[in-house]
């Protein structure tokens, strides 16, 4: 089977490599010259564990290729996936669909026979219908179907998520389109992954509903963490106590600096706008957006308070810049407002992230000093803030940190350290939602 993938970013590249691993021939179209050059040279333009090996094996097997020419990628393709970005549209919070529509138009012009146009990008309800209109307008003669196949992979475990998904969701309305997509996902039928067929609108909305629900869980536990701090309770025990209830579940109940990343912030905002447009506003989603924005904006205040009310003239080490570990993705990362505020208030920031520093540079103030490792960042610092819970930060011995730092303030926004061990090492240790002293 031949597949074309429009967009070779986090979702497009992982999906393409996994489809190739399933045995299909996959042609990726990527317009960013830097990303394309890297892919053609065998370098990964993004960091995702295991992706380099999967891509190189499938390129070597002749099942995966990269280019910028849509027409040659579409030759013989039965399924054309659109996996381009859908960022927040400037000014109003809606999803910006210009990349999706431009891709649909390019595909329509280049197709020579029947194909299913499948949106993998996260798109608002009605986008599939609009793509069908665009294609019909450009090519009234063409036989085609549209389908929606939203992606649920998580950066950091994207390959495993794609190969062993909790479910595959397919919104399609013709038997022919369903048959093509069944063949695309045949290896997942064999491992009995649930494949759910719905209407196109249902699939489009389900993706937003899933992300909004997860974002709501994170926001809920963050609010509980704030309350725990006031009443002297421990949010980890609260999370365990509620999470063991099968109706609630244990995942996504980790308190932190507020959710970021390429999906939750823009998707909650877009769902809020979709619901308003259809006169069915979601006050719950609106509250999640507002509470999370305020949390991220306010996180620097915790550090400032921990430093005695002012960071002017102080050196702050920041460990972790990406929005979560095991990715280099900096989109909407909480580290950005935290560091910007600390520097705005007169601090010097020394930062380290294992994979995200290249992507961080254009987003952070120019004065940030980027270090080679965690201990170098901590060296001579008055205070240390842990923003992203990379495993290598968990393994740092408190005594080594203490020896490197000048001051004794540690603000752990992910609760990775053992409070007793940190305090025993002489730190004024602050974490999220746990009693100040044990």
Ligand X SMILES: NC(=O)c1ccc[n+]([C@@H]2O[C@H](COP(=O)([O-])OP(=O)(O)OC[C@H]3O[C@@H](n4cnc5c(N)ncnc54)[C@H](O)[C@@H]3O)[C@@H](O)[C@H]2O)c1
Q: How far is the CB of 77 from ligand X (least distance, A)?
A: 14
431 an active-site residue? no
C-beta closer to ligand X: residue 203 or 396 = 203
204 belongs to the binding site for ligand X (CB under 6 A)? no
Q: Report helix angle 264-277 to 283-306, nearest 10.
A: 150
84 belongs to the binding site for ligand X (CB under 6 A)? yes
86 belongs to the binding site for ligand X (CB under 6 A)? yes
Q: How far is the CB of 216 from ligand X (least distance, A)?
A: 17
Q: 125: closest CA among 205, 196, 207?
A: 205
Using the contact rule CB under 6 A, the part of the chain among 54-62, 150-158, 198-206, 392-400 near ligand X is 150-158
11 belongs to the binding site for ligand X (CB under 6 A)? yes
Q: How many residues bind ligand X (CB under 6 A)?
A: 27
6 belongs to the binding site for ligand X (CB under 6 A)? yes
Using the contact rule CB under 6 A, the part of the chain among 148-156, 195-203, 299-307, 370-378 near ligand X is 148-156
- Distance CA(30)–CA(93), nearest Å, equals 26
- What angle (nearest 5°) sits at the alpha carbon of residue 118, between those of residues 266 and 279? 45
User: Positive or negative CA dihedral for 34, 38, 39, 43?
Assistant: negative
Q: How far is the CB of 211 from ligand X (least distance, A)?
A: 8
Using the contact rule CB under 6 A, the part of the chain among 50-58, 101-109, 141-149, 305-313 near ligand X is 101-109
99 belongs to the binding site for ligand X (CB under 6 A)? yes
- Distance CA(409)–CA(417), nearest Å, equals 13
What length does the chain have? 438
173 belongs to the binding site for ligand X (CB under 6 A)? no
24 belongs to the binding site for ligand X (CB under 6 A)? no
Judge contact between 6 and 107, C-beta under 8 A: yes
Q: 255: closest CA among 208, 283, 289, 292?
A: 292
31 belongs to the binding site for ligand X (CB under 6 A)? yes
C-beta closer to ligand X: residue 17 or 405 = 17
25 belongs to the binding site for ligand X (CB under 6 A)? no
30 belongs to the binding site for ligand X (CB under 6 A)? yes
C-beta closer to ligand X: residue 102 or 306 = 102
376 belongs to the binding site for ligand X (CB under 6 A)? no
Using the contact rule CB under 6 A, the part of the chain among 6-14, 140-148, 399-407, 420-428 near ligand X is 6-14
Q: Which residues of 328-364 are buried (b: 16+ CB within 10 A; e: fewer)?
A: bbbbbbbbbbbbbbbbebebbbbbbbbbbbebbeebb
C-beta closer to ligand X: residue 58 or 262 = 262
C-beta closer to ligand X: residue 7 or 398 = 7
15 belongs to the binding site for ligand X (CB under 6 A)? no
Catalytic residue among 228, 263, 307, 431: 263
C-beta closer to ligand X: residue 99 or 370 = 99
Q: How far is the CB of 218 from ligand X (least distance, A)?
A: 15
Q: Which residue is nearest to ligand X (CB)?
A: 9
Q: How far is the CB of 132 from ligand X (least distance, A)?
A: 18
Q: How far is the CB of 340 from ligand X (least distance, A)?
A: 23
Binding positions for ligand X, 252-281, rule CB under 6 A: 262-263
85 belongs to the binding site for ligand X (CB under 6 A)? yes
- Distance CA(196)–CA(198), nearest Å, equals 6
Residues 6+ away with beta carbon under 8 Å from 151 = 11, 15, 83, 120, 122, 162, 207
153 belongs to the binding site for ligand X (CB under 6 A)? yes
C-beta closer to ligand X: residue 13 or 374 = 13
C-beta closer to ligand X: residue 150 or 407 = 150
- Residues within the interface to ligand X (CB under 6 A): 6-12, 29-32, 35, 83-86, 99, 102-103, 106, 121-122, 151, 153, 155, 262-263
Kindly list the catalytic residues: 263
């Amino acid at each position: 089977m031949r597949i074309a993938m429009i967009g070779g970013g986090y979702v497009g590249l992982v999906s393409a490599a996994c489809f190739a691993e399933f045995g299909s021939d996959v042609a990726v179209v990527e317009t960013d010259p830097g990303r394309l050059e890297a892919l053609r040279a065998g370098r990964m333009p993004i960091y995702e564990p295991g992706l380099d090996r999967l891509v190189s094996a499938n390129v070597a097997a002749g099942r995966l290729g990269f280019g910028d020419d849509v027409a040659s990628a579409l030759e013989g393709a039965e399924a054309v996936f659109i996996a381009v970005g859908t960022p927040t549209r400037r000014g109003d919070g809606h999803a910006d669909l210009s990349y999706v529509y431009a891709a649909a138009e390019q595909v329509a012009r280049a197709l020579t026979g029947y194909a299913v146009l499948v949106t993998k990008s996260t798109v608002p309800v009605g986008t599939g219908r609009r793509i069908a209109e665009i294609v019909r307008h450009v090519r009234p003669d063409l036989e085609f179907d549209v389908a929606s196949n939203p992606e649920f992979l998580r950066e950091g475990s994207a390959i495993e998520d794609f190969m062993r998904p909790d479910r595959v969701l397919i919104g399609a309305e013709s038997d022919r389109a369903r048959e093509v997509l069944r063949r695309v996902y045949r290896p997942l039928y064999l491992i009995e992954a649930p494949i759910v067929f719905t209407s196109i609108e249902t699939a489009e909305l389900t993706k937003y509903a899933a992300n909004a629900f997860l974002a709501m869980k994170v926001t809920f536990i963050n609010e509980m963490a704030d309350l725990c701090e006031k009443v002297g309770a421990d949010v980890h025990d609260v999370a365990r106590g509620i999470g063991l209830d099968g109706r609630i579940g244990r995942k996504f109940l980790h308190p932190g600096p507020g959710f970021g990343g390429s999906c939750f912030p823009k998707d909650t905002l877009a769902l809020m706008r979709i619901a308003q447009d259809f006169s069915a506003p979601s006050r719950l989603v609106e509250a999640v957006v507002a509470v999370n924005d305020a949390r991220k904006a306010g996180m620097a205040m915790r550090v400032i308070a921990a430093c005695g009310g002012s960071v002017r003239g102080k050196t702050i080490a920041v460990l972790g810049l990406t929005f979560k570990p095991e990715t280099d993705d900096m989109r909407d990362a909480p580290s950005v407002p935290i560091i910007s505020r600390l520097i705005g208030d007169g601090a010097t920031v020394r930062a380290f992230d294992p994979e995200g520093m290249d992507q961080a540079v254009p987003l952070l103030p120019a004065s940030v000093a980027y270090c080679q490792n965690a201990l170098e960042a901590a060296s001579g610092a008055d205070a240390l803030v842990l923003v992203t819970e990379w495993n290598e930060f968990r393994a740092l011995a408190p005594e080594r940190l203490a020896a490197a730092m000048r001051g004794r303030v540690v603000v752990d926004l992910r609760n990775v350290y053992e409070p007793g061990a940190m305090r025993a090492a002489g730190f004024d240790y602050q974490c999220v939602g746990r009693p100040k002293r044990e």
